[in-house]
Amino acid sequence: MKIIFKESNFFVKSIINKKGFILLDMLFSLFIFLIIVSFLPFFLQIILNVQPIEKQLQNIEWEIFAQQLKKEVRMSESIDVEQNKLLLYIDGENIQYEWYSNKIRRRVNVSGHEVVLQGIETINFSAIANGVKVMVKDQYMQQKEVEVRSYLNL
């Protein structure tokens, strides 16, 4: 051990001879520490506010559903709301939106089963002037609504 000590004598002396940190070393360390601590709230906010991927997909799915509904309502010749079902009449076809289990499904001429929105707790279709209002509460208890009006006088 003495041999190793003698070979690295230069480094040992330089460390032993320092009485402590100099002011410049302390200021530099404090500067680095303050930079790290200043970014800590941003990192915590990102970590704590991250929505689950399912919730993000639910929002995207809602936007797609709303756009499809707007397109079909604006093309429809008549709109009717019966027993919390939306009935549209387009080019001789009856298109029906209804709540089925925890989904909203679309049926054409009372046949088929096209799921257009999933993870639904409640849905409410209500007729408004020249259109329809759809209010949905999803599985994350977020309430979303869309009002769609037709260009035609129905």
Q: For residue 82, give the 3-state DSSP assignment.
A: strand
Residue 32, token pair as written in the block: 């680095």
Domain encompassing residue 144: 53-149
**Rounded CA gap, 140 and 80, in Å?**
29
Mark whether 124 and 95 lie in a shared domain.
Answer: yes
Name the domain count of the chain.
2
Residue 69, token pair as written in the block: 């509904």
pLDDT digits 0-9 by tens, 55-81 = 777 888 889 999 999 999 888 888 889
Mark whether 43 and 58 lie in a shared domain.
Answer: no
pLDDT digits 0-9 by tens, 96-146 = 999 988 899 999 998 888 999 888 889 999 988 888 999 999 888 889 999
Sheet holding 93-100, edge to edge: 78-82, 85-90, 93-100, 103-108, 111-117
Mark whether 122 and 144 lie in a shared domain.
Answer: yes
Strands 78-82 and 143-149: unpaired
Mark whether 35 and 15 lie in a shared domain.
Answer: yes
